Amino acid sequence: MTHMLTRLHALAATFIVVTALLIAGCGGDGKEEDKPVALVYVSWTEGIAMTHVLQAVIEDSLGRDVQLTQAGGAAMAFSAVAEGDVDAFVDAWLPVTHGPLWEEFGDRIVDLGPVYDSTTVGLVVPDYVEATSIQDLADLENAMDGEIIGIESGAAINEQTRQVLAANDLDGFQVVPSGDAAMVTALQRSIDRNEPIVITGWRPHWMWGRFNLRYLDGAKTGDTDVFGEPEQIRKLLRPNGRETLPADVLHLLERMHLGEREMESLMSAFRPGQEDPLATARSWIERHPDVVSEWLSEAE
């Protein structure tokens, strides 16, 4: 009897050890293999486009589920990444535009590098507008009701515009918050009527390929410290993301990068009228297989 109990105890101990090893082998590396990849974006054209392309690649090439969250602004997107509520945000304009947000949240965010280089921002007008510089706006104050059309309330470019207006003693102007789509609608309406309008603009954006536009001198990237020098659009990862994201997803995020031609074609694909952004993203991928193959390939 004693001999049999000893054998049972030995078998039980062996079972416990083997079970522990199996558990360690299956999940001990901390990777969250079965969870959907959570991405956040803001309703800016380039953000919508890049995020849905990323979703399509993760779903179609990696065979993983994706969960998208649309944030009401960059601050909400940065916060979601820093708090670990989402895995990644691929539309951070640094070091200037979203610099204050980086100062607030950067110590809890992993920077995965640029997805695009050499962005520009500033005040934009149709080419027929007589003003060529920020100083010329004083002559158009009444014609424009003192309004400059911005994007969503709280956006960095809105505040940058207020700083530029104050620096040039243009106290009669105010920034009217709207949104990317509403801003472009206002632009289209003014162009149709041949009326002066000033908007907060940036590149990359599809509107540059559709309308004849230009920046105002003194109110654009490279002309003033407010808008700084050309920036990068960077990819942000949640805390511990390197340790917990599946290796193939992390590899894709690290490798994802768009050149100028690729970004221009992507912006063109995402012009208004595309009701299904995921279908649009998949169509773009079909026309640019080499770009995506490069993201998925092993680094040399």
Q: What is the 3-state secondary structure (H, E, C) of 27-96?
A: HCCCCCCCCCEEEEEECCHHHHHHHHHHHHHHHHCCCCCEEEEEECCHHHHHHHHHCCCCCEEEEEEECC
| Confidence class for position 29, pLDDT limits 50, 70, 90 | low
**Which neighbouring-strand residues pair with 89?**
40, 236
Averaged pLDDT score across all residues of the chain: 89
Least trusted range by pLDDT, from 26-30, 53-57, 72-76, 196-200: 26-30
Cβ-contact 131, 137 below 8 angstroms:
yes
Q: What is the percent of the chain with per-residue pLDDT over 70, rounded to a whole number?
A: 89
Structural domains of the chain, with CATH: 37-118+231-296 (3.40.190.10), 120-220 (3.40.190.100)
**Which residues have C-beta within 8 Å of that of residue 277, sequence separation ≥ 6?**
48, 49, 52, 270
pLDDT exceeds cutoff 50 at 25: no
Distance, in Å, from the CA atom of 135 to the CA atom of 77, rounded to the nearest integer, reads: 35
Can you state the percent helix, strand and coil of the chain, rounding each to 5?
45, 20, 30
pLDDT exceeds cutoff 70 at 215: yes
Tens-place pLDDT, residues 169-183? 999 999 999 989 899
Say what the pLDDT of residue 209 is. 87
pLDDT exceeds cutoff 80 at 237: yes
Region 8-17 average pLDDT: 42
Cβ-contact 125, 208 below 8 angstroms:
no
**Which residues have C-beta within 8 Å of that of residue 114, sequence separation ≥ 6?**
232, 233, 234, 235, 257
Please tell me the pTM assigned to this model.
0.81
E-assigned strand segments in the chain: 37-42, 66-71, 88-94, 110-126, 147-149, 174-176, 199-203, 213-220, 231-237
| Confidence class for position 282, pLDDT limits 50, 70, 90 | very high
Distance, in Å, from the CA atom of 58 to the CA atom of 54, rounded to the nearest integer, reads: 6
